[in-house]
Amino acid sequence: MKRLLPSLRTKKRYLAFELISEEPAGRGDIVKEVISSASSLLGDITTSDCDIRVLGFEAGKGIIQCSHTRVKETRAALATLTRVNGKRATLHVLGASGTVKKATEKFLKDYTVFEPEIHEKRDSRKTPGKVD
């Protein structure tokens, strides 16, 4: 199956955020509460249009992906989040960017984005120390 052309793909924005809470929370807790607060404020259809996804979260900071046309609604939904796991909490949006890399560089200086390690493949036919 062919991929969509870049001009036909949906454009995304990435919101860098920090969680200020009484107790530490996990990524799953954040996902549940963000979708819940967005759904209660915006309704199910608009929440679906926002296309909110939590890409990463660790040590109280993370990145949320949303639709480029629904950034204001997404920020409003994040501002209404008041509790995580029954404990008082708030989500502070640090800024928005068009790429994950720029959002990380600009707003999350100590945050590391997951980058898989690339291992070089060795040619099994060559023997070490032997020059061809």
Q: Which CATH number goes with the domain that contains 79?
A: 3.30.70.3250
Asked if residue 1 is part of any domain, the answer here is: no
Asked if residue 120 is part of any domain, the answer here is: no
The two counts, helices (H) then strands (E), for the chain are 4, 5
Query: What is the domain count for the chain?
Result: 1
Does position 56 have pLDDT exceeding 70, yes or no?
A: yes
Asked if residue 70 is part of any domain, the answer here is: yes
Asked if residue 2 is part of any domain, the answer here is: no
Asked if residue 125 is part of any domain, the answer here is: no
Q: How does residue 126 score in pLDDT terms, banded at 50, 70 and 90? A: low
Does position 1 have pLDDT exceeding 70, yes or no?
A: yes
Structural domain for 64, as ranges = 12-107
To the nearest whole percent, how much of the chain has pLDDT over 70?
83
The gap between the terminal CA atoms of the chain, to the nearest Å, is 41
pLDDT in tens, 11-55: 999 999 999 999 899 999 999 999 999 999 999 999 999 999 999
Q: Taking all residues of the chain, what is their mean pLDDT, rounded to a whole number?
A: 85
Asked if residue 113 is part of any domain, the answer here is: no
Tally of CB atoms within 10 A around 129: 5
Asked if residue 49 is part of any domain, the answer here is: yes
Predicted TM-score (pTM) of this structure: 0.78
